[in-house]
Each structure stands twice: as structure tokens, then as C-alpha cells.
Amino acid sequence: MINTEVPTISWNGGLQQEALDILRGEGGVVVSPTKVGYIIITCDSRGLERKFELKNRPLTKPGVVLCGSFEELEALAEMNDEIRSFYQTHWDQDVLMGCILPWKTSGLRHIPEGAEQYVRDARGTSCFVVRFGVPAERLAKELWESEQRVLFASSANPSGKGNRGVVTGVGERIATGVDLVVEGDDYVRWVQPDTAGRYEQGVMVSFVDAEGKLLPEQRGEVRRGDVEGTTEAVPTLIRAGLSLPQILLNLAEQFPRWDYRHGQYY
């Protein structure tokens, strides 16, 4: 059950001002609905620290970067034209998708002081996510456009346990430890009416090599086989999730060479 001492409100269908006000405050942490269930969102290092404590989550699994606009994505993530086109396809299709990428040097200034360990992995990369669902998208867009602040997130469920897609599945530790819970069960069900076969997470695609460096463009080149004794680093789908068939189709249409290795990143 949700602790009544923590405010719980229903999503209003647009920009949730109560959530925005909390996120603008120091250490503010909110639970918000998305296309795949509920997430914990915050903007600063204290909020990120609280988020990791609530989830009992290791720092080897940093929070994702929520991009509420394409302009924000462009400002933060290092991309080439092929990756940019891949994102644009999913943006236009309104498909939830995240890519593992390095940060732009100029984008690093948008990481809050003291938050580096919570949002970048050991290689210096992060997962930059788009089209995650209107309730949180509106918040991310407003924070970026008004203050150039970035919204960070992790799923709102105990680490290692599935996202049930209902507000009562958030769990007491998280529900009583945040500053506000925005309930949007109807929105989650609208996106995924088949609750029995619902996806609990979004798809992740890695565009970096083992050292975290951006992969080179393929430019339509088709290779008959790798050089003996070497393995080429290619775009790799590392986490299956919502809209998997569509994203696989987009990979196949835009990249001559790619891989599917669910679970590789973690």
C-alpha cells in the first residue's frame, strides 16, 4: 500500500506542476508513470543519491538520461549522422528507445556537481532515452527548456525485481521514500493493454565499443566476413523491451551490420 504520508496524485494529462516544483527543489525525488511502468526521477546529486538508496542499486548500473526534446539529446550526447538518423526514426514513430553513447564534452557541464558516479558508467557513457511517455516527457522538456536541467531516472521497483506497471507495485520502500507519487495506471494500460504480456522496460542499443568510444559510421558498407581473428564492434541491441520488433526492423533497415545480445551491457 502507498503510505498516505507521501502525497499521491493522479496524472493530470499534461505537465504535472506539483512534480515540477519538487524536482526544482534540492534533492527532490518523484515517482512518475511511463510507457512501461513507473520510474523514479530526479535532477541533482542529492536526489540521485536518494534514488540509489531507495532501490538498493549498485553504482555499476547508473541512471538513464531522459531527453524531453531532440534539441536536448543533441546538446548532451555524442552522435554521428547515422545514430542521429536512428534516433530521429524512433522520435517520429513515437517509439521508446535508449542508446548507450558518450557525452559531448560541452554536454558534461549539465551533469550536476557530484552526480558523475550516478549517471555515467566506468567507460564514461550513459543511456540517453527518448519517447518514454508523456507524463515524464513533459517534465523533462520543461526542465531543459526553462533551466537546461537534465532529468535522470531508474525504474521504480526494488533493484532486480520487475516493474509491475501499477502504482501499488512500486513497493513500500520507494513509495514512502520519495517526495511525490504521480499515479497513472490508466496511461500505462493505454500504452500496453495486454497486461499479461506487457514489457517492463525499454529497448537499449549500444553504439560504443568496449572502451566507450563511439562506433564509426558504416555508410551502407556490407562486409562478407570479419578479418580472421578479429571481431568488429557494431551497433548492438543489449536489452529487449517495448517495441522490440519495430526497433529490430529499424536496425535492419538503417545498418548493414548489427548484433543482438540481450543482457550484454549488464
Torsion sign, CA atoms 172, 266, 203, 211: positive
Decide if pLDDT at 262 tops 90.
no
* Beta strand residue intervals within 56-156, DSSP E: 64-66, 97-102, 125-130, 151-155
In a domain, 202, yes or no: yes
In a domain, 3, yes or no: no
Distance CA(40)–CA(18), nearest Å, equals 15
Confidence label for 110 from pLDDT (cuts 50, 70 and 90)? very high
In a domain, 108, yes or no: yes
Which CATH number is 153's domain given? 3.90.870.10
In a domain, 2, yes or no: no
Digit-coded pLDDT (tens) for 141-175: 999 999 999 999 999 987 666 677 899 989 889 99
Into how many domains does the chain fold? Answer: 1
Decide if pLDDT at 3 tops 60.
no
Digit-coded pLDDT (tens) for 5-52: 679 999 999 999 999 999 999 999 999 999 999 999 999 999 999 999
Burial class for 32, CB neighbours closer than 10 Å (0-12, 13-18, 19+)? buried
Digit-coded pLDDT (tens) for 218-249: 988 877 555 444 567 999 999 999 999 999 99
Q: Which domain holds residue 182?
A: 8-260
In a domain, 215, yes or no: yes
| DSSP H or E segment with residue 190 | helix 185-191
| pLDDT of 72 | 98
Digit-coded pLDDT (tens) for 165-221: 899 989 889 999 999 999 999 999 999 998 788 888 999 999 999 999 999 999 888
In a domain, 113, yes or no: yes
In a domain, 1, yes or no: no
Decide if pLDDT at 266 tops 60.
no
Torsion sign, CA atoms 138, 144, 147, 153: positive
